[in-house]
Chain A
Amino acid sequence: MTPVVALPLCGVAALLGVAILAVAVSRHGSATRLVYGATLAISALVFVIVTGALADDRAGASAITLPLGLPWIGAHFRLDSLSLFFLVVVNLSGALASLYGLGYGRHETAPHRVLPFFPAFLAGMNLVVLADDAFTFLLSWEFMSLASWALVMAHHREQDNTRAGYIYLVMASFGTLALLLAFGLLAGPDGTYAFDAMRAAEPSRFIAAAVLVLMLLGAGSKAGLVPLHVWLPLAHPAAPSHVSALMSGVMTKVAIYGFIRVVFDLLGEPAWWSGVVVLFLGGLTAVLGILYALMEKDLKRLLAYSTIENIGVIFASLGLALAFKANAMPSAAALALTASLFHVLNHSFFKSLLFFGAGAVLTATGERNMEKLGGLIHRMPLTSFVFLVGCVSISALPPFNGFASEWLAFQAILQSPDLQQWGLKVMVPAVGGLLALSAALAAACFVKAFGITFLGRARSAVVESAHEVDRWSLAAMFVLAVLCLLAGILPGFIIDGLSPVTLSLIGDRMPVQAVQPWLSIVPIAESRSSYNGLLVFVFIAISASLAALVIHRFASHALRRGPAWGCGFAEAVPTAQYTAVSFAQPIRRVFGTFAFRARENVEMPPPGAIGPARLNVEIHDVIWETFYQPIAGAIDFTTERLNHLQFLTIRRYLTLVFLYLVTLLLVLALWP
């Protein structure tokens, strides 16, 4: 079965070739079309191949060792069902981002900073998923991080982008360090870096716990687990929009792949408490992520914060799967793992779609601040429509795909009474509550995002001159919108497609969905629960058409124009509209005091003055202030103290080296 793994590797080689070619031609006029066309073709081809392989149940794992990398190890690559699934996610999004880039890239002011790194970034993500030894994995991981960092820094002269790149680089290095230590522990004293050997080894309980914590730090910092998420809302929006889509929709998923690969595959049987830890972090991440998103005015940053929420949902499902696996409940574990993988796929769809939409708005208006947008539905009807589809999907409303996967996650949560440990019995429903809260808040957040950006009246002049984006971008967005709908009304096929993954990682699968009548999905048994997306869709379509028909047929045809009620405002200017901040105010009042230490104070002018009264809102990023500022302060303090070491005399330096040597020898002499 070697050809199966060889084909994606050829794709990677081709992408790297395109990257090198792009360096040569990037200043040329047609370079944009050439590069994105090539990446589109390669990604689409790899996507078709891996989808075929995943659908073909008989395709087992296939491995190949190339004489690259460390001489005594070589580079191991392996393709099993898990990596096949993630290759599908990476390459589908990669192909659509390239399609979008064909149009969006034409507005790029500095194409030579984007074009070479875009194919390299895609190649890096593919390589991480294919890697089968620790060295190749870390190398590809770092390659992916650096390529995406270069893309974040593409517009390095813009305000705050340099800071975003710096924080991203620091966090990425920290994450890689954690991964390095985790693989070091897994490799053991013999230094067996191949994943096969790690899989065969039985790590002790202490080592397994340490590896889990290190993976949560390493993969979690790349995926955006709270409190390691700080770089994500800075870096993702700083990149060009199609790259933001890839970073948010796909790179975070590659991090989740790393987590699943190590924790579910290499680490062996999990301990029950590992489920508690992952569940807790997932629930916390989901709620805090969406609360941050609600407070945000910048459209792309809002989307980045919402990514954090979805990562929380995925991690919570993974925690459930760990808990069920530790309790020898394979069917429930398969359900939870399927839910998380399905959500991985769905999130890559709608988050790419929403970032593409935000990019379209950015192209048309040059504005990311929602308070300056509004009324775009008149100027950009098609973009508004697909953006609405994305908002509905991400808010988990049926019949779209977000609902299907979150429904599966809740079905898994309902299995929790069968768990044995009280810690889990208490934790799982609590996390269920957190997930429900975050789903509701997500709906509110995207009502705000769509309503403030596209509805109402234009809040600034740039909106007046906006017009619809080009066909390439629209095509990419429409494909994604259709995918969101298809995954929502036909989830059974995807669940069946995921069964090889759960079979290999857990040893069980969800019931076969293809045999269910009318394309229903049944997570456990028909008697307990079932969902039919197609039925919901048909019902919504028919009832909505009927309602429209009735209204247009039987309602009065007489057109009447009358004065609108001005809500008590004397002047109906656009600035008097509901704003993003005012929309979020009730939620800020409820959650803001503990989550953001939010404070509102009203400045009243003194009696007799004619100045306006002002309402000032003060919001703190509590996590930044509690975790990161003390660390940064400590580093500053230490470097300040160590600074004069740079200006010693030659003799002092010699003395330092000498004393150090003597200390080492002393330690050696006194060591028991």
Chain B
Amino acid sequence: MNGLTFDIAHLLAGGLVLVSFMMLYQDRLFALINVFALHAVVLALSVAWQAYVQDAHHLYVTAAIALVFKAIVIPVGLHRIIQRLGIHRDIETAVGIGPTMLAGIGLVTLSMVLMLRVTPEADPLAREDLAFALSIILLGLLVMVTRRNAVSQVVGFMSLENGLVLAATGAKGMPLVVEISVAFSILIAFIVIGVFLFRIRERFDSVDVGALDDYRGERR
């Protein structure tokens, strides 16, 4: 492993974390989806770079899947959903941006400390990769937790899946089956949640998951 390949892998994975941070402070749905598309593009680049470094051609397929589905198909689909629902003007963070960013920084620190402690013998590239992947997963969860709107929770969930893909490709010799299944699971989740959104809409005239709570007679 020479210095340049390591640096580029590091740069791409770090970029992915940075894009995750960008997601945290988007308070418009369209902007959030655009950032998610960017996230998927960076992921595709990172996976492609891993394919090149590890000389594993099947990873190019994974990169292509990430690019086509996550960067194009799903964001376009979500755009259309939002337009049909007419919620593109909603502002919907539940927690203020400052605390969210601070929490995100804390999570990244946590995953770095944890990963560097538990994997001292591992290959440095895989080690960095895992640390970044864990940060992305935690940030994705944070997006889900700090949003009220079902669409942005879906986006948070999918960025979480991106972290998983990053972790899977960072490890050498992971067979293709895994990535395909991950990609398909996301697609299915997207379809299911899309249907679910329309169902909520039909019932409650809103995709705010708070409506479900109101329906159950609860107070937030």
**A658 engages B94 (CB within 8 Å):** no
**B118 engages A651 (CB within 8 Å):** no
Instruction: Give Cα A651–Cα B142 distance, bound, in whole angstroms.
Output: 11
Instruction: Give Cα A643–Cα B94 distance, bound, in whole angstroms.
Output: 25
Partner of B145, one of A647, A648, A658, A666: A658
List residues 200-214 of chain B with CB under 8 A from any CB of chain A.
Answer: 209-210, 212-213
Whether a CB of chain A sits under 8 angstroms from the CB of B138 is yes
Whether a CB of chain A sits under 8 angstroms from the CB of B62 is no
Whether a CB of chain A sits under 8 angstroms from the CB of B20 is no
Instruction: Give Cα A655–Cα B114 distance, bound, in whole angstroms.
Output: 21
Instruction: Give Cα A232–Cα B94 distance, bound, in whole angstroms.
Output: 55
Q: How far is the CB of A69 from chain B (nearest CB, A)?
A: 33
Q: A662-B138, A668-B118 in contact; A651/B110 too (CB < 8 A)?
A: no
Partner of A665, one of B111, B144, B210, B212: B111
Q: How far is the CB of A161 from chain B (nearest CB, A)?
A: 37
Partner of A649, one of B141, B147, B209: B209
Whether a CB of chain A sits under 8 angstroms from the CB of B84 is no
Q: For this complex, into which size category does the number of interface residues on chain A fall?
A: 10 to 19
**A650 engages B213 (CB within 8 Å):** yes
Whether a CB of chain B sits under 8 angstroms from the CB of A654 is yes
Residues from chain A with Cβ under 8 Å of B114 in the complex: 665, 668-669
Q: A665-B114, A669-B110 in contact; A647/B218 too (CB < 8 A)?
A: yes
Partner of B142, one of A648, A658, A665, A668: A658
Whether a CB of chain A sits under 8 angstroms from the CB of B148 is yes
Q: How far is the CB of A229 from chain B (nearest CB, A)?
A: 45
Residues from chain B with Cβ under 8 Å of A662 in the complex: 107, 110, 138
Residues from chain B with Cβ under 8 Å of A647 in the complex: 216, 218
Number of residues from B at the complex interface, CB < 8 A: 23
**B141 engages A669 (CB within 8 Å):** no
**B142 engages A649 (CB within 8 Å):** no
Instruction: Give Cα A189–Cα B101 distance, bound, in whole angstroms.
Output: 44
Whether a CB of chain B sits under 8 angstroms from the CB of A661 is yes
Residues from chain A with Cβ under 8 Å of B213 in the complex: 649-650
Interface membership of chain A positions 644-672, coded 1 if the CB is closer than 8 angstroms to chain B and 0 otherwise: 00011111001100100110011011000
Q: How far is the CB of A649 from chain B (nearest CB, A)?
A: 5
**A650 engages B209 (CB within 8 Å):** yes
Residues from chain B with Cβ under 8 Å of A658 in the complex: 141-142, 144-145
**A651 engages B209 (CB within 8 Å):** yes
Interface membership of chain B positions 177-220, coded 1 if the CB is closer than 8 angstroms to chain A and 0 otherwise: 00000000000000000000000000000000110110010101
**B144 engages A654 (CB within 8 Å):** yes
**B110 engages A649 (CB within 8 Å):** no
Interface membership of chain B positions 126-165, coded 1 if the CB is closer than 8 angstroms to chain A and 0 otherwise: 0000000000001001101101100001000000000000
Nearest CB in chain A to that of B141: its residue: A658
Instruction: Give Cα A97–Cα B137 distance, bound, in whole angstroms.
Output: 63
**A649 engages B220 (CB within 8 Å):** yes
Residues from chain A with Cβ under 8 Å of B110 in the complex: 662, 665-666, 669
Residues from chain B with Cβ under 8 Å of A665 in the complex: 110-111, 114
Q: How far is the CB of B135 from chain A (nearest CB, A)?
A: 11
**B210 engages A649 (CB within 8 Å):** yes
List residues 513-554 of chain A with CB under 8 A from any CB of chain B.
Answer: none
Partner of B212, one of A650, A654, A661, A669: A650
Instruction: Give Cα A354–Cα B220 distance, bound, in whole angstroms.
Output: 63
Q: How far is the CB of A162 from chain B (nearest CB, A)?
A: 32
Q: A658-B145, A661-B141 in contact; A651/B111 too (CB < 8 A)?
A: no
Residues from chain B with Cβ under 8 Å of A648 in the complex: 218
Q: How far is the CB of A670 from chain B (nearest CB, A)?
A: 9
Partner of A651, one of B113, B117, B148, B216: B148
**B138 engages A669 (CB within 8 Å):** no
Instruction: Give Cα A650–Cα B215 distance, bound, in whole angstroms.
Output: 13
Q: How far is the CB of B154 from chain A (nearest CB, A)?
A: 13
Residues from chain B with Cβ under 8 Å of A661 in the complex: 138, 141
Interface membership of chain B positions 99-114, coded 1 if the CB is closer than 8 angstroms to chain A and 0 otherwise: 0000000010011011
A-B contact pairs, 16 of them (CB 8 A): A647-B216, A648-B218, A651-B94, A651-B145, A651-B147, A654-B141, A655-B145, A658-B142, A661-B138, A662-B107, A662-B138, A665-B111, A665-B114, A666-B110, A669-B113, A669-B114
B interface vs A, CB < 8 Å? 94, 107, 110-111, 113-114, 117-118, 138, 141-142, 144-145, 147-148, 153, 209-210, 212-213, 216, 218, 220
For the complex of A and B, the 10 pairs showing the least CB-CB separation, nearest first, are A669-B114, A649-B213, A655-B145, A658-B141, A669-B113, A650-B209, A658-B145, A654-B145, A649-B220, A654-B144
